[in-house]
Amino acid sequence: MTKLGTFEVEESFNITGRGIVVLGYCSDFIPKFGMSISIAITDKRDVFKIIGIEIGNIPKNGKKQFGLLIRTSPEMLKYISENKITNQTADVLAD
């Protein structure tokens, strides 16, 4: 996998029946459907497929806001719902 850029995660939330959304900012690229994101969830980094994207309208320091819907296992969905992903830098990857 090739690193395309970084994504500054501010928060995460669950959309029932859809999955986890990580909300944040990036300045060096535009994430696309099908890319992957590497996020520190537990004591290691996990890689998740981006299955949906929402472009936000609240820019921050010249960076664009995005909500990335990621595919997770039921166990990881439960873990992330209970232990939010916040304030970290994630890598966005191309397959």
Pick the closest to residue 38 from 79, 95, 91 (CA basis).
91
pLDDT for the residue 50: 96
Q: Where are the alpha helices (DSSP H) in 1-95?
A: 74-82
Give 10-24 pLDDT, tens digit per residue. Answer: 999 998 888 899 999
Residues 9/90, Cβ–Cβ less than 8 Å = yes
- Taking the C-alpha atoms of residue 69 and residue 54, their distance in angstroms, rounded to an integer, is 8
Q: Which residues contact 75 (CB under 8 A, 6 or more apart)?
A: none
pLDDT of 62 > 90? The answer is no
Compute the chain's Rg from CA coordinates: 12
Report the Cα 38 to chain-centroid distance in Å: 8
